[in-house]
């Protein structure tokens, strides 16, 4: 069964290892085989990977779209995750779920779970900002 994707005007997406950009009108695409797909809203560029959780997301994204370099990405991932858990032990539950998907090679599901980690990280940053503002 094909996957139907509707792209907005000028929307980008990754199909396999190719970056596609739609033209000036909305269009429908039918993806007829099993290939990694990421819509623009789910893509983080290297420059956007500017926090620990965002770096984790970025490296999982690379695992998902670039099988040829999995060994290197896995090594980087485990380093990032170890650092994150040491700094934020309260994130262990979310990290464990992500790890299960990484070990099962379910990279898209790992990306979806990592969005929870991004929200959690942002929540912690906001709480820290409030504490420092109130203590000054």
pLDDT tens profile 19-76 = 889 999 999 989 988 889 999 999 999 999 999 999 999 999 999 999 999 999 999 9
pLDDT tens profile 79-107 = 999 999 999 999 999 999 999 999 999 99
pLDDT at 136: 58
Domain ranges of the chain: 3-41, 44-135
For residue 130, is pLDDT > 90? Answer: no
Structure tokens at 79: 């380093």
Using CA atoms, how far apart are residues 61 and 73, in angstroms rounded to an integer? Answer: 10
For residue 131, is pLDDT > 80? Answer: no
For residue 27, list its beta bridge partners. Answer: 7
In 3D space, the residue among 57, 56, 61 whose CA is nearest the CA of residue 78 turns out to be: 56
């Amino acid at each position: 069964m094909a996957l139907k994707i509707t792209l907005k005007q000028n929307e980008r997406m990754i199909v396999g290892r190719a970056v596609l950009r739609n033209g000036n009108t909305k269009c429908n695409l039918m993806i007829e085989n099993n290939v990694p797909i990421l819509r623009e809203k789910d893509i983080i560029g290297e420059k956007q990977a500017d926090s620990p959780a965002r770096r984790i997301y970025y490296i999982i994204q690379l695992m998902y779209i670039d099988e040829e370099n999995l060994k290197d990405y896995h090594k980087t991932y485990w380093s990032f995750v170890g650092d994150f858990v040491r700094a934020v032990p309260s994130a262990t539950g979310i990290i464990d779920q992500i790890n299960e998907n990484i070990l099962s090679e379910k990279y898209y599901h790992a990306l979806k779970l990592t969005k929870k980690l991004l929200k959690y990280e942002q929540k912690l940053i906001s709480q820290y900002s409030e504490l420092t503002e109130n203590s000054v």
